Structure 1
Amino acid sequence: MKQDLKLISMSDVQAEEVKWLWYPYIPLGKVTIIQGDPGEGKTTFVLAMIALLTRGEPLPERDTAAEPMSAIYQTAEDGLADTIRPRLDSFGADCSRVLVIDESRKELTLSDERLEAAVRETGARLIVLDPLQAYLGSDVDMHRANEIRPIFKRLCAMAERTGCAVILIGHMNKMQGQKASYRGLGSIDFRAAARSVLVVGRLKDEPHIRVVAHDKSSLAPEGASIAFELDPDTGFQWKGCCDTTVEQLLSGSGTVQTKTMLMEDALRELLTQPTPAEEVQKRASELDISQRTLMIAKKNLGVISEKQGERWYWRMPGQGCKDVTV
């Protein structure tokens, strides 16, 4: 019997440039895993990101943005009406661009043909499945590589055909002192198939601050860690880049200091009374703070701009003047 052999010469393969939803964290047409312990803010981080994408606003640490885009978000843990929609509203998302595949008659899996059909019908550039473990299928053992590999192969092929970014949100196991690569639930083949892996966690000394650290990047250099805040009083706020490593994040050690946080501290110190805008700009320049970071810090603190005579002044909320926004 003649062997059915077909060889491909690399000289016939057309090289392609990787396209990105968010460089260097989330590639288009590929699978990204976002993992962390329960309650660390993985879902909140993703929903805040989706809100920016649906509004056509720049993602953290990016100066430019794509046109507003649609995203498909599937969750097996949170209610759409009482949890997901209120969170999206709080982030200012365009909810008409956030779609959900109806699972009332049939539960969705990673191998489901409805994933690709939904992407093609909606033009979505992002699919999120939260959590990964819930979408494997009831007859799949997540610890068996021979069962995981074909599922991920089909999922990766779907992502490549459609050019859609796929995010899988996963929990981590409770094994302390282990590297991140061994703390993901299930087979190590999950991590092997993903082109990018992000870890979300918090540090012991700063419980309201969360950090997203790049743990694997197959298509670009690893990106800087990104901090955000989940505060009971002020809610969600982006805090900018920091030096926290994955190892520090998993052990809870270290501290977080970003340029956004540095500028926030400077504004608190400077704006004890209404202050001319040029003095604020001068202080930002002294700290080597970009205009974008300055405006994020201003937004986070609720700083108000108002014109008095021919000059613009910045002040903290509650200082008793009429609110005038630039």
Structure 2
Amino acid sequence: MGGFMENESTVKLISLDTIPVQEVEWLVYPFIPCGKITIIQGDPGEGKTTFILQLIARLTTGRPAWDGMSPMTPGNVIYQTAEDGLSDTIKPRLLAAGAACDKVLMIDDSDRALTLEDDRLEQAIVQTHARLVVLDPIQGYIGAGVDMHRANEIRPLMHRIGVLAEKHHCAIVLIGHMNKNSGEKSSYRGLGSIDFQAAARSVLVVGRIKDDPTLRVVCPTKSSLAPEGKAIAFRLDPEQGFQWAGEYDISAEDLLSGNSRGHKLREAQNFLQEVLAEGALPQTEIEAAAEQKGIKPKTLRNARYELGVTSHKVGKRWLWELPQE
């Protein structure tokens, strides 16, 4: 091997020349890779479970994760929740999202609590050929004797889960609540030991926009296998329910700290109010002017939604107009 002499004390080595090159397969590019660990974290009540249930619904029915994405290959999902009721919370939300509930399965742990060390996790993946496994929240599956803040206790658990994901080529998503150290970086507000973050190939933060209570944003804060993707937003509207709102221009640190929350959106709103102050204008002219000011189309669309700007056709042109008071 490369000119090395072997004897009884030779260390077993692996030559990279013998390792095949494999492309990364994605459940949702570039957010959730197959065969790897993804962490989705955020403060309680910010929409983490809503986000993952929407993805589960689309995976079980082979729909795109959101507008502009390719359809997903339908597959089974193992979804474990330690917080929400199945009959009064999880199933109604999955049905509302259009999920194929026969493809959403759960390990019955009523007699014995499920943990990351439990062999039933691998047995269930083999039995169901699950493409996605979700533990929500991860704090509920650590095990009573494990300290989340001790690296020597968390590292072997995360290694085991990582091997499990790679062995069966399924995406494993761990959902977790963040700690309250609001002045710290997102990577240090996570699940306890930094080894959680270290083992994950992708980490996403979910948070709400302070100035827009219906809007939530999913923002990548770690992306080891692809260029970091744009943040994606969704609305939880009391009347219209769940709606994807497209890309959103904000960093994970700003999302968590409150800095610049809604700043780009406010800029776009001010722009629309200014250009439409004298009356209706053609949509094409507004979009061209917005582009010159560096306002992205998705941000302009969100601003239009917030302001209630109406659209009507005159001849061959669509005109935008501020709502009449």
Query: TM-score, normalization: structure 1?
Result: 0.79
The answer to whether residue 219 in structure 2 is matched with residue 213 in structure 1 is yes
> Equivalents in 2 of 1:173, 1:214: separation in Å?
18
Two-structure CA RMSD over aligned residues (Å): 3.0
Query: 3-state DSSP class of the match of 1:147?
Result: helix
How much does 1:61 deviate? 4.5
Unpaired runs of 5+ residues, structure 1, are 270-278, 302-326
The letter of the residue matching 1:235 is G
Deviation at 1:252, TM superposition (A): 2.0
1:113 alignment counterpart: 119
Counterpart of 1:224?
230
**Are 1:125 and 1:165, in contact at CA under 8 Å, matched by a contact in 2?**
yes
Residue equivalent to 1:54: 60
TM superposition shift of 1:65: 1.1
Per-residue Cα deviation, 1:82-116 (whole angstroms, up to 9, x for no partner) = 11001101111111111111111111111222112
Aligned match for 1:146, one of 139, 152, 173? 152
Which residue of structure 2 lines up, in the alignment, with residue 189 of structure 1?
Answer: 195
5 Å matches for 1:168-183? Answer: 168-183=174-189
| CA 1:116–1:285: 2 relative to 1, 3 Å | farther
Conserved? CA contact 1:36–1:172, under 8 Å: yes
Q: Equivalent residue of 2:146, what SS?
A: coil
Question: In the alignment, is the contact (CA less than 8 A) between 2:46 and 2:207 conserved in 1?
Answer: yes
Deviation string, structure 1 residues 205-225 (Cα, Å, up to 9, x no partner): 111100000000010111000
2:24 corresponds to 1:18? yes
Does the aligned pair in 2 maintain the 1:202–1:252 contact within 8 Å? Answer: no
Q: Does 1:165 align with 2:198?
A: no
Which amino acid is 2:173 matched to? I
Helix, strand or coil for the counterpart of 1:216? strand
Q: Which residue pairs with 1:9 in the alignment?
A: 15
CA deviation after TM superposition for structure 1 residue 284, in Å: 11
Q: Shift of the alpha carbon at 1:203?
A: 2.0
Cα deviation digits, residues 210-251 of structure 1 (max 9, x gap): 000000001011100000111222221110111111111011
Could you tell me which amino acid in structure 1 is paired with residue 69 of structure 2? D
Aligned pair partner of 2:42 in 14, 36, 53: 36
The question of 1:79 aligning with 2:85 is answered: yes
Aligned length: 282
Unmatched segments (≥5 aa) in structure 2: 1-7, 277-281, 309-325
Checking the alignment, whether the CA contact within 8 Å between 2:255 and 2:261 is kept in structure 1 is no
Report which stretch shifted further, 136-145 or 105-114: 105-114
SS for the counterpart of 2:148 is: coil
- CA contact under 8 A between 2:209 and 2:215: conserved in structure 1? yes
Task: Determine the structure 1 residue equivalent to 2:321.
Answer: none
Instruction: Please state how far the C-alpha of 1:124 moved relative to its aligned partner.
Output: 1.2
Is residue 2:253 matched to residue 1:253? no
Contact 1:206 1:255 in 2 (8 A): no
SS for the counterpart of 1:121 is helix
Equivalent pair of 1:61/1:241 in contact (CA under 8 Å): no
Q: Which runs of 4+ in 1 moved over 4 A?
A: 255-258, 282-290
Question: Separation in 2 of the partners of 1:9 and 1:20?
Answer: 27
Would you say the 8 A contact 2:76–2:104 is kept in 1?
yes
Identity %: 56
Tell me which moved more, 189-198 or 60-69. 60-69
Q: Which of 129, 137, 162 does residue 156 from structure 1 map onto? A: 162
Question: How far apart in 2 are the matches of 1:207 and 1:61?
Answer: 22
Task: Tell me the SS of whatever aligns to 2:228.
Answer: coil
Which residue is equivalent to 1:125? 131
Structure 1 residues 125 and 62, CA gap change in structure 2 (3 angstroms): farther
Q: Distance in 2 between matches of 1:254 and 1:17?
A: 37
5 and 40 in structure 1: CA distance in 2 versus 1, 3 angstrom threshold: same
Deviation at 1:135? 0.6
1:312 corresponds to? none
2:186 and 2:69 map into 1 onto residues whose CA distance is 30
**In structure 2, the residue corresponding to 1:202 is in which secondary structure?**
strand
